[in-house]
Structure 1
Amino acid sequence: MKNSIQEALYLSFQRQQWSKLRKSVPLTLSQEELEDLRGMNEKLSLDEVTDIYLPLSRLLNLIVGAKQQRGMIVNKFLEQNSSQSPYIISIAGSVAVGKSTTARILQTLLQRWPEHPKVDLVTTDGFLYPLADLKRKGLLQRKGFPESYDMKMLVDFISAVKAGETKVLAPIYSHVTYDRCHDKNQVIEQPDILILEGLNVLQTGLDSPVDIRRPFVSDFVDFSIYVDAEESLLKNWYQQRFLQFRKGAFSDPNSFFHHYAGLSDEEANTISANIWDTINGPNLKLNIQPTRERANLILKKGQNHLMDIVLLRK
């Protein structure tokens, strides 16, 4: 059923087919820069950037340019000055699929086009309810589920950015304290493009068990991307990342997960598998994966975080 839906909605490209759509777009990213952009356990090479991300950046550059041109035509017709509304790109997908890496690479490539657009990147982690609120609401074990986010705050943020407000603040999240930073904010000042990365950015009112007549983040998005992979791979990548965190972020005495730092490999694998099976896996099946076919573009990963298939909505 899933394949028939995708065939009806999307054009499918194997890696080699997609890479040809790069045309003559130059590679503006060095291996050293790529090392700074990639996430844990993602052994991305410049070949991945060349084959997958350069064609995607070309597509997005053409789409953004067309929208800006349309905006100028409408403004000329209405005899008004151009607005400062940015083009908003959302990136959704599971925990551990590599959304953040995709977002960072796209941000870097898009802002290096000859037009030099201003491209900002915001993650929805900062819009999670503060840790104290999650504990009070009994949502700590459902962190990452839709109800663990301050959706009003997130929608207010994205609507203000879309409206062209000169300065909008986005909360910053700390993966060390596992909490929103109370004294730090990211300042968004009228970017040409805003990339919004998060688990649930493709959700709409259709996902609510009750009729909710309010705007959703997806209502403000111009182009949406879903980063996809089989759950067996996702679980394995999550466990690998957990092991890496145990040696890195968890070793910080200020880390919320500092008590995991002394775990053996076997203990760490057991605990991370349980976290996946009880939290991340159910959230994927219930809330994240069902939104996949709403995306304008699906990036399907195989082994080693390498993209195998690209699906572009017709």
Structure 2
Amino acid sequence: MRKAHPLSLDDADLARLRGVGERLDLNEVEEVYLPLSRLLSYYVEGASHLHRLTSGFLGERPDRTPFVIGIAGSVAVGKSTTARILRELLARWPNTPRVDLVTTDGFLLPNAELERRGILHRKGFPESYDQRALLRFVAQVKGGADVVRAPVYSHLTYDIVPGESTVVHRPDVLIVEGLNVLQPPRVRADGRLSLALSDFFDFSVYVHAPVDLIRRWYVDRFLRLRQTAFSDPESYFHRYASLSDEQAQETAMNIWRSINEPNLRENVETTQGRATLVLTKGPDHAVHRVRLRKL
């Protein structure tokens, strides 16, 4: 499906792009992600052509409109790695040289505000995000604004970084990655539907795996992080670094059962049917099945 397009990533690139504990290899990139990036490049080209025709019909100046891709999935399923790889590959196709990636983590409410609202324990649930700011950001990018800024989230301090921002400058493609990016519109108090983030997407990907596999991957990742991110004294989770294997596993399972699994079942997994394409992973963390919603 990639029509002999050469794979331009190497092992060093994969080491930089893959997440903790993931077993992504070049063969999977060549068989799954490179063809997918080619398909996406066709979608970008087609959307651009349609936009030019529509602008001509309306007598408007045909400025290029960024193509927006949403990537959703559970914690620990590998959606961030999928987003990073697609960004890397898409940027190497001639018609999409400028590809930006923004995660919705930056639009989480600051910890102080979550504590004020009494929902710090529900971090990652839909209500823990500044939805208006997220919608405004994507709308501005989609609308062709020259410069748009997104807040920055630190996984080390587990909070928004004051005064820092990611700058997006008229990209060819914007990838928006996060747990809840495919949430349906909410019903407002007056009975009307609110605007949904997915209303701005030209294409969306859901990274799927059975819940029991994701649970195992989450616990395995938690155990590995004791020797890496958790070991930093500045880390919000530094208190977990000295846990024994048994203690760490019990802690990870408690966090999973109380936060991540309820959010997955109630808010994330339910959006799978809204995706344009679903990547299903097997026990080896590799993609075993690809389902595409045909035009």
Q: CA RMSD in A?
A: 1.5
1:194-231 deviations in whole A, cap 9, x for unaligned? 00000000001258899463212111111010000011
1:164 equivalent in structure 2: 144
Q: Which of 87, 91, 105 lines up with 1:111 in the alignment?
A: 91
* In 2: Cα distance, 1:106 partner to 1:60 partner: 9
1:280 equivalent in structure 2: 260
1:10 equivalent in structure 2: none
1:4 equivalent in structure 2: none
Q: Which of 251, 259, 266 lines up with 2:246 in the alignment?
A: 266
CA contact (8 A) 1:205 1:212 kept: no
Q: What stretches of structure 1 move > 6 A for 4+ residues in a row?
A: 207-210
CA contact (8 A) 2:157 2:235 kept: yes
CA contact (8 A) 1:223 1:296 kept: yes
* In 2: Cα distance, 1:208 partner to 1:304 partner: 42
Q: Does residue 311 in structure 1 map to residue 291 in structure 2?
A: yes
2:214 equivalent in structure 1: 234
Please report how far the alpha carbon of residue 104 of structure 1 lies from its aligned counterpart in structure 2 after TM superposition: 0.4
CA contact (8 A) 1:229 1:302 kept: yes
2:58 equivalent in structure 1: 78
* 68-77 or 235-244: bigger deviation: 68-77
Please report how far the alpha carbon of residue 55 of structure 1 lies from its aligned counterpart in structure 2 after TM superposition: 1.1
| Structure 1, unpaired ranges of 5+ | 1-20
* 142-151 or 204-213: bigger deviation: 204-213
Which structure has more RCO (C-alpha within 8 Å, separation ≥ 6)? Answer: 1
The one-letter amino acid paired with 2:24 is: L
* 108-117 or 211-220: bigger deviation: 211-220
Listed as ranges, the matches of 1:1-314 within 5 Å are 21-205=1-185, 211=191, 213-314=193-294
Q: How many residues get paired?
A: 294
- Relative distance call for 1:211 and 1:47 in structure 2 (3 A) is farther
The one-letter amino acid paired with 1:89 is: I
* In 2: Cα distance, 1:231 partner to 1:58 partner: 30
The one-letter amino acid paired with 2:22 is: E
| Structure 2, unpaired ranges of 5+ | none
Please report how far the alpha carbon of residue 183 of structure 1 lies from its aligned counterpart in structure 2 after TM superposition: 1.9
